[in-house]
Amino acid sequence: MNAGLPETVDALRMVQARRSFQGSLPLASMPRLRGSLAAADGAVDFDLEFGKDDLGVAHLRVRADAVLPLTCQRTLEVFRLPVHVDSRLGLIAQEADEAALPGGYEPLLTTDGAVHLAEVVEDELILALPVVPVRPGAESETPVFAGAVQDDAKESENPFGVLQSLKHKKT
């Protein structure tokens, strides 16, 4: 954990004081994100700012930069994906308050008023992950298992061929 980053903070106090936190966290310290990574080496640089906007909405602005090691699902090679996060999280005490957030805000539920800062950074990185990681430039390459699938398709018979013959017998 970063020495300058407390584990939890009181969101309302942080907003009133307009506190900000900057630093770096190792990717290895993020267990939920680690499951999606090819390796846990590297770090994320973050900048967290609490405040209120012109409408009086309490928010947390999250900026994070990391290079994530992912496995390309087309070539099965490890590649490094640069990720930049810049989001505004509207601090809400209950789910019903989400509808009152203006556009451009994502909700951050703080039922007990506490915010786990490292978890917020981890959540934003998880949301930034691609659904299917593909190394840039790999779109034009042949998939690893494509040849095996095509060969099997040529050799196998149509599983509905028997039904077709039964249909013709009936008429």
Residue-wise pLDDT for 107-164, tens only, equals: 999 988 899 999 999 999 999 999 999 888 777 666 666 455 555 555 567 777 777 7
Sheet holding 43-52, edge to edge: 20-26, 43-52, 58-71, 78-92, 106-109
The pTM of the full predicted model, rounded to 2 decimals, is: 0.78
Q: So what's the pLDDT on residue 144?
A: 62
Average pLDDT value for residue range 2-27: 90
pLDDT digit string, tens, across residues 38-97: 999 999 999 999 999 999 999 999 999 999 999 998 888 999 999 999 999 999 999 989
140: left (phi over 0), alpha (psi -120 to 50) or beta: alpha
Domain that holds residue 48: 8-142
The count of residues in the chain is 171
> Is residue 64 domain-resident?
yes
Q: Is residue 41 part of a domain?
A: yes
Q: In this structure, is residue 73 part of a structural domain?
A: yes
The confidence score (pLDDT) of residue 155 equals 57
CA nearest neighbour of 81 among 95, 93, 65: 65
158 domain-assigned: no
Total domain count, the chain:
1
d(CA 40, CA 42): 7
Identify whether 24 is part of a domain: yes
Please give the C-alpha separations between residue 76 and each of 4, 47, 133, 137, in angstroms, as whole numbers. Answer: 38, 33, 10, 13
* Residue 162 lies inside a defined structural domain of this protein: no
Are 84 and 64 spatial neighbours (Cβ–Cβ below 8 Å)? yes
Please report which confidence band the pLDDT of residue 25 belongs to, taking 50, 70 and 90 as the band edges.
Answer: very high
Strands annotated E in the chain: 8-10, 20-26, 43-52, 58-71, 78-92, 106-109, 114-116
Strands 78-92 and 106-109: parallel
1: pLDDT confidence band, cut at 50, 70 and 90?
Answer: very low
* Residue 161 included in any domain: no
How high is the pLDDT of residue 171? 58
Q: Which residue has the tokens 């061929």?
A: 161
| 150 belongs to a structural domain | no
